[in-house]
């Protein structure tokens, strides 16, 4: 249709220019030859301009994202398609068909991206009565941090349904319990330790207690953390550096730097030195609070170089708490991180997750801060698409 319109425009342009040629030549006989040459040049320029415009228009229509090329087609096709790819060809649609647990296992083993709807679509077909340990762990993995296109609440809702069904059919061994606790921590779900230890149908080990301490400390629950320390004491389990790091995090979330210092004094008394892990725990703790002065003080007093994952974790908490304006203060601890393709992928995953947490402005700010237009093709299109999918409104548009 576009090429046909361009062809019609070219034809009418040539006819119009020829009419002008013969009309004006009647009045300008003396300059006829020069005038005719000028008109022919103008005619050539016009044709070239129209052809160039047609080619640009065709190129735009070919390479533009689906929701720009055809909004209706995008709306109809986006639901079954992989949201991390711009492709909507038949092959990619067929590849995404998942109708049962076996299909889900095959999909995860062959595809790079997974989204929560694939699991919820086949949830009622899962035979929890005969499910294996590996399949149970896989289901929990489908509800954790690797699934960035859903909110933590949505992921936790599916996680708890999986847990209830496994508990009902007595399919929870120690490894599956460990995975459940880990995914709850990733989703920001605080567990009731006393209830869980009463319900658990196998003997908890050191790893179980460690995962539970991590869970309650990530939520800043110092009372449950202290109760778990008593359990460790009863079972003659040693308190190691990781345990102290979790306790430092919990006390920092609750009481700021003064709470962190309390744990550090205990560590010094036990001849346990401060490490990079300890400093990271303090920095993570203040990032979950709303005290700017403490955040700046922690960056200065407990300086630690962050890796990509640690940086993104802190950025996530700043964004969730509405404190992303503090982001520039993090430059000294992440300036050594190169902006590679892999790092850009991690940034984009975080931004997608923030859109699903109803934080579109924060996702744009993080993306603009770390990713420049010259290193990214289709700059920012993935965020626009995610916002349309999530029906999120932003002041940027």
Could you tell me how far CA 295 lies from the centroid of its own chain?
24
* Residue-wise pLDDT tens digits, 348-360: 999 999 999 999 9
User: Does 70 score more than 50 pLDDT?
Assistant: no
User: Does 40 score more than 80 pLDDT?
Assistant: no
Residue pointed to by tokens 């700010």: 365
Instruction: Tell me which of 196-205, 272-281, 359-368 is least confident.
Output: 196-205
User: Does 315 score more than 50 pLDDT?
Assistant: yes
Contact 178, 210 (CB under 8 A): no
Q: Which of the four pLDDT bands, split at 50, 70 and 90, describes residue 89? A: very low
Return the closest-CA partner of residue 388 out of 17, 73, 51.
Answer: 73
Q: Which helix (H) or strand (E) holds 32?
A: helix 32-63
* Residue-wise pLDDT tens digits, 262-310: 999 998 888 888 899 999 999 999 999 999 999 999 999 999 999 999 9
User: Does 63 score more than 50 pLDDT?
Assistant: no
Q: Which helix (H) or strand (E) holds 88?
A: none
- Three-state DSSP at 173 gives coil
Q: Which of the four pLDDT bands, split at 50, 70 and 90, describes residue 376? A: confident
Residue 43 is predicted with a pLDDT of: 59
Contact 302, 273 (CB under 8 A): no
Cα angle 78-84-88, degrees, rounded to a multiple of 5: 45
Q: Which helix (H) or strand (E) holds 102?
A: helix 101-110
Q: Which of the four pLDDT bands, split at 50, 70 and 90, describes residue 202? A: confident
User: Does 107 score more than 80 pLDDT?
Assistant: yes
Give percent helix, percent strand, percent coil of the chain, each to the nearest 5: 70, 0, 30
Cα 20 to Cα 227: distance, rounded to the nearest angstrom = 94
Contact 254, 220 (CB under 8 A): yes
Query: Does the predicted TM-score (pTM) go above 0.85?
Result: no
- Three-state DSSP at 228 gives helix
């Amino acid at each position: 249709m576009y090429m046909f319109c361009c062809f019609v425009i070219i034809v009418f342009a040539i006819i119009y220019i020829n009419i002008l040629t013969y009309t004006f030549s009647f009045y300008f006989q003396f300059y006829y030859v020069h005038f005719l040459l000028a008109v022919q040049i103008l005619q050539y320029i016009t044709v070239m301009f129209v052809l160039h415009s047609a080619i640009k228009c065709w190129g735009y229509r070919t390479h533009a994202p689906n929701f720009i090329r055809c909004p209706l087609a995008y709306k109809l096709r986006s639901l079954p398609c992989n949201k991390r790819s711009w492709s909507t060809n038949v092959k990619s649609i067929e590849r995404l068909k998942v109708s049962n647990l076996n299909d889900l296992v095959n999909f995860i083993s062959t595809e790079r991206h997974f989204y929560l709807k694939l699991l919820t679509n086949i949830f009622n077909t899962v035979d929890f009565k005969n499910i294996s340990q590996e399949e149970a762990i896989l289901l929990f993995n489908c509800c954790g941090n690797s699934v960035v296109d859903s909110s933590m609440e949505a992921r936790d809702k599916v996680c708890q349904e999986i847990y209830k069904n496994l508990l009902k059919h007595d399919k929870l061994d120690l490894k599956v319990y460990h995975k459940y606790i880990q995914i709850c921590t990733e989703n920001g779900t605080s567990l009731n330790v006393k209830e869980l230890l009463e319900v658990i149908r196998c003997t908890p080990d050191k790893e179980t207690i460690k995962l539970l301490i991590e869970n309650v400390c990530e939520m800043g629950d110092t009372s449950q953390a202290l109760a778990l320390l008593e359990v460790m004491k009863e079972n003659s389990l040693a308190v190691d550096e990781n345990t102290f790091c979790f306790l430092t995090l919990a006390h920092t979330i609750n009481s700021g730097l003064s709470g962190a210092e309390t744990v550090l004094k205990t560590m010094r008394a036990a001849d346990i030195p401060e490490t990079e892990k300890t400093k990271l725990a303090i920095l993570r703790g203040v990032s979950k609070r709303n005290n700017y002065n403490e955040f700046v003080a922690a960056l200065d007093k407990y300086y630690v170089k962050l890796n990509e994952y640690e940086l993104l974790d802190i950025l996530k908490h700043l964004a969730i708490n509405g404190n992303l304006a503090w982001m520039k203060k993090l430059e000294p601890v992440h300036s050594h991180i190169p902006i590679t393709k892999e790092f850009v992928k991690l940034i984009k995953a975080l931004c997608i997750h923030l859109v699903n947490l109803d934080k579109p402005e924060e996702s744009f700010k993080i993306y603009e801060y770390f990713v420049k237009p010259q290193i990214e093709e289709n700059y920012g299109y993935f965020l626009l698409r995610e916002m349309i999918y999530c029906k999120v409104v932003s002041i940027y548009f």
